[in-house]
Amino acid sequence: MSNHPDDYIKPELMACCGAREIRDGDIVVVGTGFPTMSANIARYTHAPRAMLMQESGVFDARPARPALSVGDPCLNPGAAMIGGLVEIMGIFLQGGWVDVGFLAGSQIDRFGNINTTVIGPYESPKSRLPGSGGANPIGALAKRTLIIALHNTRSLAEKVDFITTPGYLDGPGAREKWGLPPGTGPQVMITNKAVMRFDKDTKEAYLESYHPGSSVDEVVKLTPWKLKVSDDVHETEPPREEEIRALREVLDPHRMIRIYEKRGYV
């Protein structure tokens, strides 16, 4: 049995939850922050043959410092292959080779649809956000998508203002109707309070585990739709010693991950 050090912070737990979703040999499209940390924790623990790529054009980078963007200069030297968007998004993602994609967003609904376009009406927005970038194609075409979210009634929504990136759209059968590849879609939503999975039949997110310090009641209260709770709901397993060691000794010795605490991941 693994030891569980108790001095972890919430973003570290979330990164570990992400890592546990990655299987050995997976091809993972990552952004910066959580996705890279999760994928690398997996590589240093149970999934040494998982391989990472960045949409900007990089496959199997060996950066000497944590990348601050998917176009970071440190991703260049040492990579196994460098091309561009047509290679990564076209040949690998649209070609059907990508197993896992990580996504985040300003607004996420119960079907795992994500909004990174606009808060308020499209024509007269309250807040204009960056747009899709690579998120829509990753959500459409990666075999499994992992969603990172803040757990509150603003970030989670019954219905998002704008579907930038497809989750299960309006429910069962919708992805298939639009011709998205069979068997694809969100696998899990990892928040600062809980881990939620998507029901096989209804495609709606339900509570699988609440993080230490939280509770079923709190998670239900912070979720703006009527959240279903798994029959075997339990506390999330805290970070294991080997996960924390990979994170702090190899991947993030300066603990830049603390920046997520400032962004509300507590």
Question: Within a 13 Å sphere around the CA of 171, how many CA atoms are in the beta-carbon half?
Answer: 4
Q: Please say which residue, 42 or 75, places its beta carbon nearer to other proteins.
A: 75
Torsion angles phi and psi, residue 191, rounded to 5: -115, 180
Q: Please say which residue, 47 or 70, places its beta carbon nearer to other proteins.
A: 70
Q: Please say which residue, 180 or 220, places its beta carbon nearer to other proteins.
A: 180
- Identify the active-site residue in 12, 21, 55, 243: 55
CB 28 to other proteins: min, Å: 17
Q: Please say which residue, 39 or 75, places its beta carbon nearer to other proteins.
A: 75
Chain positions contacting other proteins, by CB under 8 A: 54-58, 68-69, 71-73, 75-77, 82-87, 89-90, 93-94, 113, 117, 122, 125-137, 140-141, 162-166, 169, 174-175, 177-181
CB 252 to other proteins: min, Å: 16
CB 203 to other proteins: min, Å: 13
CB 39 to other proteins: min, Å: 19
**243-264 residues labelled b (16+ CB within 10 A) or e (exposed):** bbbbbbeebbeeeebeebeeee
CB 121 to other proteins: min, Å: 11
Say if CB 228 and CB 207 are below 8 A apart. yes
Q: Please say which residue, 171 or 212, places its beta carbon nearer to other proteins.
A: 171
Check if 204 is active-site. no
CB 20 to other proteins: min, Å: 28
Q: Please say which residue, 78 or 253, places its beta carbon nearer to other proteins.
A: 78
What are the DSSP calls for the chain, one per residue?
Answer: -----S---HHHHHHHHHHHTPPTT-EEE--SSHHHHHHHHHHHTT-TT-EEEETTTEES---SS--SSTT-GGGSTT-SEE--HIIIIIIIIITT---EEEEE-SEEETT--EE-SEES-SSS-SEE----TTHHHHHHHSSEEEEEE--STTTEESS-SS-SB-SSTTSTTHHHHTTPPTT-SEEEEEESSEEEEE-TTT--EEEEEE-TT--HHHHHHT-SS--EEEEEEEEPPPPPHHHHHIIIIII-TT-GGGHHHHTT--
- Active-site residue set: 55
